[in-house]
Structure 1
Amino acid sequence: MHFASRPTMPLAGSIATATALVFFLYACGGNHLDSTVKQLDIGHTSLPLITVSGLQFKDMNRNGQLDPYEDWRLSAQERARDLTSRLTLAEKAGLMLHGTAPVLNDTTGAGTGNAYDLAALQTQISNLDINTFITRMSTDAHTMALQYNEIQALGEQTRLGIPISISSDPRSHFQYVLGASAGGGGFSQWPETLGFAAVGDATLTRTFGDIVRQEYRAVGITEALSPQADLATEPRWARINGTFGEDADLAKAQVQAYIEGFQGGTTGINSQSVIAVVKHWAGYGAQKDGYDSHNYYGRYATYPGNNFAYHLKPFEGAFAANVGSVMPTYSEPDAAVTVDGITLEQVGGAFDKPLLTDLLRGKYGFQGVIVSDWGIASDCDANCLNGVSSGAPSFVGFGTPWGMETATRLARFVRATNAGIDQFGGESDPSFLVQAVQQGLLSETRLSESAYRILLQKFQQGLFDHPYVDADAASSIVGNASFQAQALDAQRRALVLLQNTGNYLPTTGNGKKVWLYGIDPAIAQQYGYTVVSTPQAADVAIVRASTPYQTLHPNYIFGSMQHEGSLAFTDGNADYEAIKQAALAPKSVVTVYMDRPAILTNVQGKATAILANFGVSDAALFDVLTGKAKPEGHLPFELPSSMDEVVAQREDVPHDTAHPLYAFGYGLSY
């Protein structure tokens, strides 16, 4: 008879029972399996094959017999339980680390480069039993796929043949900030997630996710460290760019559609999925004074409006989509927070058991993998705490153990695991988890629970059976013409028309002289414009600007890269000087890239038309300016009228500056 799948059992005490049942059925001749089943395509492999009843299976542990975890006829749950029961303590600890794939000639220490260090990877995979890595490599699709296959070959050489999972920060947009997004590689280029919120079309967002899912799987990326379900309720915050704005209902719908696209449906992980890691649970957007908790000085989230529960709502969209993984926030609340009778602890999210176990797993019933953000178990040295006193800041001595700064590394691993963490981001030393079990600080059963969850997803994705990719096909999938055309259309649709004095737009370029700032002259010429050297000689001036920012903490590694502080255009700002120059032309058009909500109070009178963009190519921009397409976007956050009102608003409350220049949802068209 057919051996039907059963609901997932609680892990404690169940792995041995389930494994014994599977072995009993095998001992009875394997008659529980459907004799009419067809051969699964197991693709290329370096492993020996076993033939049973005319079907082929990989002998992953090379013992010459078909073990339950090797049998693709069984359910993912059954296979994961069997394999978990075979793991050593060290292998369980290795599974719980989400390392950084090392690259050759790495100058940043963060894994950026264009070729993997396969020797270093072999050490981590074979000696440390790590089999999940983030990639920050940037190269062409064919090379990425080839190198991914080499990594999988290393996985097949291990004792149990566990396949390798590769994750990535977003790499399909415009902004590249180390630790938040990844660069290049020829992927289709879409607006930032703020742009999808501006369009407000869940179908478009789902299509985006589906396309990126295909591109990622083509090169071997099986896990997306996205989306951000954080709410942009604090206008100064540096991470707004990766969110869906400040409105919880809009963000909830967008988060759900994004995950459904990446995971290939609403039912959870399947063989075509890229696992979505929704982040950052929870309340990360309410950062005190807008400072970011990658930095010690920005470790606090604050809730002066008692509005923490509002920040949970977007995650409900993730749970509706059966999201595979959740990443907790770095931030710690600066005062007591209670939600649904659960009082959070004043520590970083990865150490907060009420946040992870009581709220996430308890109230919301989340059953997937909880993966920490990077560096939560690492030490934050004096330079990390106080900023470097001389020289340039670096990742040396960097950590994010907020609320546990004075604890030992061992104590952080124990606290986070007991809180509910299944996998530690950016870690490559499993010895602490092994020591914790040996010293009685953690039970091996607790590690088995995490190992099972991680293995289950690998089985659900089909990595045990078909881990390799077609490197030749990757080049025709990643960034192909159809995908890029849809991405360009999304860029056009996401533009938000804020001002259009005298209905100047749309306008043709035919016979017009144009002065440009931040725009490729060749693109303007393709649309019929003649480029001139001064605004005074032009019929129209067109300016690309970006939301202003300050570098208030240059002595901190992330503080030196992130956009902080004022959102207002002021004299001396290069973009503002260009805007003032453009005003000398008879007509001027200004588009502002909004990674944060810009203050345009002193721009309005200097421009004929103003458009907000969230990542747009010159060609897509000119399509809209000349009427080949229409702007469809509406602001996903309000635009304040002054910094005084930004300072006065509450970090956790949306839409609450006193007199916004443009309200949430504002947008014109033609």
Structure 2
Amino acid sequence: MSETRGVTRAPAQRGDRITAPDGTVFRDLNGNGTMEPYEDPRLPVEERVEDLLRRLSVPEKAGLMFQSIIGVPASGSLADEDPATARGTAADLVGSRLMNHFNVHLLPEPRLTARWVNELQHLAVEATPHGIPVTLSTDPRHAWAENQGASFRADHFSAWPEALGLAALRDEDVVREFARTAREEYLAVGLRAALHPTVDLATEPRWARQYGTFGQDPDLAGRLAVAHLDGFEGERLGPGSVACTAKHFPGGGPQKDGEDAHFPYGREQVYPGGMFERHLEPFRRVLERGVSAIMPYYGMPVGLTLHGRPVEEVGFGFNRQVVTGLLREELGFDGVVCTDWGLVTESRAGGRTLPARAWGVEHLDVAERVLKILDAGCDQLGGEQCPEVVVALVERGLVPESRLDVSVRRLLRVKFELGLFDDPFVDEDAAGARVGTPGAVAAGRRAQAESVTVLHREPGVLPLAPGTPVHAEGLEAGALEAAGLRSATAEQAEVAVVRLQAPWEPRDTYMLEAQFHAGSLEFDDGTVRRVADLAAELPVVVTVNLDRPAVLTPLLPHSAALVGVYGTSDAALLDVLTGRVRARGRLPFQLPRSDAAAAASRPDVPGDSPEAIFEAGDGLVDEG
């Protein structure tokens, strides 16, 4: 243990860089004018962790064990927070509740985001006893799906295909390139933790979260997840890394009836095909490679046995057999386990509510749910902001302080490894120049284009020659002209290009529900009839955004070309249709022939739909 070292002068302000008598420059986080071991940048991480751990009060330890959503004002200034819309002001969450892990949603432009991050980091020093820096996390935000329960559109960041599109490319080098690019953009604005990759398998055709996965094949998902971690975390976690959370252990794909476990009607995970181990395979690859954190899913396993013992039918975040028995003891994981969001308390937003995702333990009160999560072996409660409950459990003698130490030690280790204690700030002036650079945007557009999957193509239809008159539906105005084509009416055109979204059933009872594409995979009669009517007059190129495996059966007979995409701009799509870029995507999952066929498939079995119209791996790829 290093000795405390005095300094020659008192710092002007807490958190300032000052110089010790031996010349070591450090940040005086607790404002006492001396360099404590946890402030000493030369010491090993473990030594700094242990020094800080012994200094922390129970409320400080409890604050570390929560990660909640925090709002970012459009101005980038903490002074402009709106308490009426935020779940809590920064002063309350950081200064009073002593929390320092936060998940951000909507962000302003990069310079303003960086400004807010720096203000928040200054607050963390000024308003807390030991100046513990904030770790900011984000769901995926480099693609197209806007779903505030799972992902965000790229906006200021470079735009790439969804994870399914990366899976369609089957190229680990492209995934590493994406991850390195995204890491640099995250670092530029101060985001140091990624709530991804999603390592679940897309085995239930109706499940709403497939777009964020690497498809149905466990080997491919494992290889691409490892490449993702290579790009974000690097060989080992350090100041240039973004710490990742692989989710949703032990595999969130086999949802009963394809419903999502965010909602009460989707709480059950089932394994009629006996393929629990198949869903675990990509997680084994990730754990062997190394990852900072793991997130269990909401789902409640039904009828599952492990090593001959029935698994308790409670959500995975409450499940000691899965978190401690399987993940910790059998698979040897000693990193952070953070629950999914909102296992303990009800959520509210946009005039809607969502009950606590306390599946299987709905009868427990808040304190009992927290106790069960801690007993399961989780370190951090996602989406919650009630550290006082943990404090009360310690005061009542239900949780020993030593149990908190086990989790806090893991959480602090990541902060120290990321270098946050030594420099949590970002360059506000440089942020805009480092996010969405021309090179990153071009690389993302190329990946979008190459991920396009051509499922059917009649001779002579593609590529579209320059100047071809095209009737377009579902494309932005001006996209054709920018691609060197001519916009025309259906009567004047030589070919039609129709962009469609995969079908879903609109729902809006619960908070977030409207953003999850669930239910039927079949197109409505009006859409099919419109494509058929066009096809009676001219060749139709039908493009479907496959965030789920749409039923393409009625469209195929009317399509001169049938194309699947997974988050692709009009410009990137037209790069392929005009032959500028060669499509090389292959389906990352099977496409069922009908809703009935999808319902007949077993949720845990990849490619289990009978007489599928297209199989995983299908795609017309031109060589050369």
Q: TM-score, normalised by structure 1?
A: 0.87
Q: Which amino acid aligns with 2:371?
A: V
Tell me how far 1:113 sits from its aligned partner.
9.6
2:217 to 234, 241, 247: 247
Q: Give 1:115 deviation, angstroms.
A: 13
Structure 2 partner of 1:198? 168
The percent identity for this pair of structures is 38
Letter in 2 for 1:78: E
Contact 2:15–2:28 (Cα < 8 Å) also in 1: no
| Counterpart-to-counterpart distance in 1, 2:74 and 2:445 | 35
Whether the 8 Å CA contact 1:148–1:220 is kept in 2: the answer is yes
The alpha carbon displacement at 1:342 in A equals 5.9
Structure 1 CA distance, aligned partners of 2:161 and 2:82? 24
Which SS does the other structure have where 2:89 is aligned? Answer: helix
RMSD (Å) for aligned C-alpha atoms:
2.4
Deviations 1:364-392 (A, max 9, x none): 11111101111101148xxx9xxxxxxx9
3-state SS, counterpart of residue 357 of structure 1: helix
> 1:238 aligns to what SS in structure 2?
coil
Tell me, in whole angstroms, the C-alpha distance in 2 between the residues paired with 1:181 and 1:67. 40
Q: Give 2:337's match in structure 1, choosing from 354, 370, 393.
A: 370
Where does residue 667 of structure 1 map in the other structure?
619
Which of residues 459, 476, 491 in structure 2 aligns to 1:520? Answer: 476
Q: How far apart are 1:641 and its partner, in Å?
A: 1.2
Task: Give 1:569's match in structure 2, choosing from 523, 526, 536.
Answer: 523
Match of 2:294 in 1: 326
Instruction: Select the residue among 506, 523, 532 that pairs with 2:488.
Output: 532
Distance 1:331 1:602 in 2: 34
Q: Contact 2:238–2:419 at 8 Å: present in 1 too? A: yes
* Per-residue CA distance 1:11-64 (angstroms, 9 max, x = gap): xxxxxxxxxxx1xx528x99xxxxxxxxxxxxx984362413122222211222
- Hey, what's the Cα distance between the residues in 2 that align with 1:160 and 1:651? 49
Note the C-alpha offset of 1:469.
0.3
**Given that residues 199 and 251 in structure 2 are in contact (C-alpha distance below 8 angstroms), is that contact kept between their aligned partners in structure 1?**
no
1:14 is matched with which residue? Answer: none
Q: Matched residues in 2 for 1:641 and 1:90: separation? A: 56
Taking a change above 3 Å as real, the CA distance of residues 242 and 120 of structure 1, as seen in their structure-2 partners, is same
Q: CA deviation at 1:397?
A: 5.6
Q: Flag the 1:471–1:585 CA change in 2: closer, same or farther, 3 A.
A: farther
Structure 1 residue 92 corresponds to structure 2 residue 44: no
Q: 1:379, 1:401 within 8 Å by CA — same for their partners in 2?
A: no
Write the letter of the residue equivalent to 1:652: D
Residues 269-326 of structure 1: CA deviation (Å, up to 9, x unaligned): 2111111111111231000000101001110011100111110011123213311011
Q: Which SS does the other structure have where 1:146 is aligned?
A: helix
Q: 1:297 aligns with which of 242, 265, 284?
A: 265
Cα deviation code 1:369-422 (max 9, x no counterpart): 101111101148xxx9xxxxxxx9844463211111111100011000110111
- Counterpart of 2:340 in 1: which secondary structure? coil
Q: Would you say the 8 A contact 1:283–1:301 is kept in 2? A: no
Higher mean C-alpha deviation, range 556-565 or range 280-289? 556-565
In 2, Cα distance between the equivalents of 1:499 and 1:571? 22
Cα distance in 2 for residues equivalent to 1:485 and 1:92: 44
Task: Tell whether the 8 Å contact from 2:72 to 2:104 is kept in structure 1 after alignment.
Answer: no
Are 1:311 and 2:266 counterparts? no
- Deviation per CA, 1:539-567, whole angstroms, max 9, x where unpaired? 0000101111113x432233333211211
What displacement does 1:655 show? 1.1
Aligned to 1:548: 503
Give the letter for the 1:310 counterpart: R
Secondary structure at 1:488 match in 2: helix
Aligned-partner SS, 2:244: strand
User: CA deviation digits over 1:110-156, x for unaligned, max 9?
Assistant: x9999997992022111111001101132101110011000000111
Q: Distance in 2 between matches of 1:544 and 1:620?
A: 13
Aligned twin of 1:460: 417
Q: Using the alignment, how far apart are the partners of 2:14 and 2:498 within structure 1?
A: 54
The one-letter code of the counterpart of 1:193 is: A
Which of the numbers 541, 544, 559 marks the counterpart of 1:607?
Answer: 559
SS at structure 2 position matched to 1:515: strand
Moved more, 146-155 or 521-530: 521-530
2:147 to 171, 174, 177: 177
Q: Which residue of 2 aligns with 1:476?
A: 433
Instruction: Quickly say closer, same or farther: Cα 1:231–1:279, change in 2 above 3 A.
Output: same
1:112/1:243 CA distance change after superposition, 3 Å? farther
Task: Give the equivalent residue in structure 1 for 2:10.
Answer: none
Give TM-score scaled by structure 2 length: 0.94
8 Å CA contact 2:17–2:28 kept in 1: the answer is: yes
Aligned to 1:358: 325
The aligned amino acid for 1:57 is F
Structure 1 alignment gaps of length 5 or more: 1-21, 31-43, 385-391
Shift of 1:581: 3.8
The 1:61/1:180 distance shift into structure 2, 3 A limit, reads same
